[in-house]
């Protein structure tokens, strides 16, 4: 039944036997999944990696792109992380939909009500200004409203909500984790919308346990320096990189530009590497005793603005195209200051000094995870990555696997051998249930119901399954192609199911 290209892989090349656990007892609660929004963003992609690596079961809301399906978008992210880490990750259940619209809830509320025990709301817009019918309001307010409506209708009582440390707005004293509304001025629509969305989740009386995370300015990976989004520091660097090609080397300096922006250079900004934010979140999330609090995911050692502009100047002088001596289009320093100052006006509030974000709860929950200081070297290496990748205009590598059996959509094979169900009805409740997890590129998680009319399946794995089959995609394909056999004994139902795949 499955059409897969043949290859010369043998059973000695793959790790057999598969892990099969039979007749696992049920704990009475089938809700073993956690629902993630914002999983295709920079931070969301790291959350996907780290939570799946912990063995947690995830469902993730994904909006289709012009050139990629929702499954392909997830594959692109996870394969990139697998290549960097050497891990083979399980795949989440992918929920197709737009966070700001309610259509996806109509199709998935039943499944989520039976399988999902908590929501991780990471989806957000970083747009600074917009009217109430556009970004950032649509994602940050309407998106949060849709998440809360899901929690209410699906009976999900645990919510992990990503806010921002910059709900502090104009506040310039010590800002504690338990603070929210202290009369601060909110300086742009991003801050206002995130402030309102945090108030919304705190006022939801059907949420029994709310955990709030407030990161500061998230930058790239502290080890690889990679990023997939280019806001904050990257936006300021991009403007300098774009405009500096109208100048000769030495015509201006970052320090003189600070004066043009009305700044002294003594200001500090709070940058946090994305891998650290994800690691701290994962440690808090996987230790339930830490739930129900507010966490400032901020850097105890902020970066000086002077250090940032000096780094940007070094980057553009070494990596940007500067004008030649006879370039007729070469402009003066005054032209550069005027254009640069006008261009960064959107970010000017963020270039002013930050409050002192206190993070006692983070230090207590994750004392082993010290936030790296985003110093000159790290900013320089992150800036090099951004310039080398043209600030995201160069497309990422394909999410297809390098494994020689090729990329195979196992979900397509599942759909070929079974009929889909949207609800476990009375005719299927008494049947034998077989869980299949295929890890790696193209994989997924499914439950098969053995009925009189054949196999039925649902996305995801329930706690009440009688048999559990855990394979890598490579192992499953090798079985389908007849290049390897499982050596352990298992139930006749499992044997028949695997035989059906290879027909």
The reported pLDDT for the residue numbered 407 is: 57
CA–CA distance, 311 with 379 (Å, rounded to integer): 7
Tell which residue, 32, 22, 20, 11, has the closest CA to residue 474.
Answer: 11
Q: Packing angle between helix 42-53 and helix 274-285, nearest 10 degrees?
A: 40
Whether the Cβ atoms of residue 129 and residue 169 lie closer than 8 Å to each other: no
The answer to whether residue 15 scores a pLDDT higher than 80 is: no
Q: In the chain, what is the greatest distance between 2 CA atoms, to the nearest angstrom?
A: 83
Tell which residue, 274, 329, 323, has the closest CA to residue 162.
Answer: 274
| Residue 476 pLDDT grade (very low, low, confident, very high; cuts 50, 70, 90) | confident
The reported pLDDT for the residue numbered 347 is: 66
Same domain flag for 297 and 437: no
More confident residue, 231 or 366: 366
Same domain flag for 122 and 230: yes
The answer to whether residue 393 scores a pLDDT higher than 70 is: yes
Tell which residue, 433, 493, 429, has the closest CA to residue 461.
Answer: 433
CATH number assigned to the domain comprising residue 477: 3.30.1050
Burial of residue 382, with CB atoms counted within 10 A of its CB: 0-12 exposed, 13-18 middle, 19 or more buried? buried
- Domain endpoint, select from 370, 399, 421: 370
Q: Check residue 323 and report its DSSP letter.
A: P
CA–CA distance, 41 with 277 (Å, rounded to integer): 13
The answer to whether residue 245 scores a pLDDT higher than 70 is: no
CATH number assigned to the domain comprising residue 281: 3.40.50.720
The answer to whether residue 419 scores a pLDDT higher than 90 is: no
- Domain endpoint, select from 343, 370, 397: 370
The reported pLDDT for the residue numbered 484 is: 63
- Domain endpoint, select from 370, 393, 428: 370
Measured in whole angstroms, the distance separating CA 204 from the mean position of its chain's CA atoms is: 25
Torsion angles phi and psi, residue 16, rounded to 5:
-115, 160
Whether the Cβ atoms of residue 478 and residue 16 lie closer than 8 Å to each other: no
The reported pLDDT for the residue numbered 265 is: 76
Question: If you write DSSP's letter for every residue of 131-157 in order, what string do you get?
Answer: -TTSTTHIIIIIIHHHHHHHHHHHT--
> Is residue 451 one of the residues assigned to a domain?
yes
CA–CA distance, 93 with 463 (Å, rounded to integer): 15
CA–CA distance, 160 with 212 (Å, rounded to integer): 6
> Is residue 73 one of the residues assigned to a domain?
yes
The answer to whether residue 331 scores a pLDDT higher than 60 is: no
> Is residue 345 one of the residues assigned to a domain?
no
Which helix (H) or strand (E) is 272 found in, with range? strand 271-273
| Residue 255 pLDDT grade (very low, low, confident, very high; cuts 50, 70, 90) | confident
> Is residue 405 one of the residues assigned to a domain?
no
> Is residue 416 one of the residues assigned to a domain?
yes
- Extract the tokens encoding 470: 């855990």
Same domain flag for 140 and 73: yes
The reported pLDDT for the residue numbered 2 is: 37
Work out the average pLDDT over 64-83: 92
Q: Check residue 87 and report its DSSP letter.
A: -
Which residue blocks in 400-491 are alpha helix, DSSP H? 410-417, 426-429, 473-480
> Is residue 342 one of the residues assigned to a domain?
no
Same domain flag for 431 and 284: no
The reported pLDDT for the residue numbered 435 is: 93
Range of the domain at 438: 410-501
Q: Check residue 290 and report its DSSP letter.
A: G
> Of 27-36, 114-123, 388-397, 440-449, which one has max mean pLDDT?
114-123
Pairing of strands 209-215, 93-96: unpaired
> Is residue 331 one of the residues assigned to a domain?
no
> Is residue 250 one of the residues assigned to a domain?
no
Is the backbone peptide bond immediately before 17 cis, with ω within 30 degrees of 0?
yes
If you average pLDDT over every residue of the chain, what do you get? 84
Same domain flag for 366 and 438: no
Same domain flag for 359 and 448: no
Same domain flag for 126 and 218: yes
Same domain flag for 210 and 101: yes
Same domain flag for 362 and 470: no
CA–CA distance, 118 with 160 (Å, rounded to integer): 8
Same domain flag for 463 and 363: no
Same domain flag for 150 and 208: yes
Q: Model-level pTM greater than 0.75? A: yes
Same domain flag for 271 and 365: yes
Domain count, the chain: 2
């Amino acid at each position: 039944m499955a059409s897969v290209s043949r290859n010369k892989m043998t059973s000695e090349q793959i790790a057999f036997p598969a892990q099969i656990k039979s007749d696992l007892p049920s704990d009475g609660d089938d809700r073993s999944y956690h629902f993630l929004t914002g999983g295709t963003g920079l931070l969301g992609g790291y959350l996907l990696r780290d939570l799946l690596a912990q063995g947690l079961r995830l469902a993730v809301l994904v909006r289709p792109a012009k050139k990629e399906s929702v499954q392909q978008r997830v594959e692109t992210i996870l394969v990139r992380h697998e290549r960097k880490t050497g891990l083979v990750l399980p795949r989440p259940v992918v929920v197709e939909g737009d966070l700001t619209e309610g259509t996806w809830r109509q199709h998935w509320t039943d499944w989520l009500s039976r399988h999902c025990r908590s929501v991780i709301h990471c989806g957000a817009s970083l747009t600074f200004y917009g009217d109430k019918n556009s970004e950032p309001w649509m994602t940050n307010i309407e998106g949060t409203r849709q998440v809360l409506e899901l929690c209410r209708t699906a009976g999900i009582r645990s919510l992990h909500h990503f806010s921002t440390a910059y709900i502090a707005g104009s506040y310039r004293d010590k800002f504690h984790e338990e603070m929210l509304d202290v009369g601060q001025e909110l300086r742009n629509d991003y801050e206002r919308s995130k402030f309102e969305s945090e108030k919304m989740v705190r006022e939801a009386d059907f949420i029994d346990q709310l955990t709030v995370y407030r990161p500061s300015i998230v930058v790239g990976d502290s080890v690889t320096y990679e990023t997939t989004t280019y806001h904050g520091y990257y936006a300021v660097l991009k403007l300098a990189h774009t405009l500096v090609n109208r100048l000769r080397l030495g015509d201006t300096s970052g320090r003189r530009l600070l004066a043009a922006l009305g700044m002294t250079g003594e200001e500090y900004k709070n940058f946090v590497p994305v891998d650290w934010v994800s690691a701290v979140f994962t440690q808090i999330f996987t230790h339930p005793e830490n739930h129900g609090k507010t966490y400032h995911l901020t850097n105890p050692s902020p970066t000086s603005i002077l250090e940032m502009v000096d780094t940007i100047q070094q980057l553009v002088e070494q990596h940007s195209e500067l004008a030649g001596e006879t370039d007729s289009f070469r402009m003066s320093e005054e032209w550069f200051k005027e254009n640069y100052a006008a261009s960064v006006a959107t970010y000017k509030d963020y270039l002013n000094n930050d409050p002192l974000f206190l993070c006692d709860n983070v230090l207590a929950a994750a004392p082993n995870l010290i936030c790296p200081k985003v110093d000159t070297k790290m900013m320089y290496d992150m800036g090099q990555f951004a310039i080398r990748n043209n600030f995201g205009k160069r497309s990422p590598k394909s999410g297809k696997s390098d494994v020689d059996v090729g990329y195979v959509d196992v979900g397509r094979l599942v759909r070929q051998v079974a009929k889909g169900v949207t609800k476990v009805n009375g005719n299927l409740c008494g049947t034998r249930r077989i869980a299949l997890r295929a890890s790696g590129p193209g994989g997924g998680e499914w439950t098969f119901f053995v009925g009189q009319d054949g196999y039925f399946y649902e996305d995801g794995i329930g706690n009440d399954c009688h048999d559990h089959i855990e394979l890598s995609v490579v192992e499953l394909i090798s079985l389908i192609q007849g290049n390897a056999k499982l050596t352990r004994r298992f139930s006749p139902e499992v044997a028949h199911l695997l035989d059906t795949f290879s027909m």
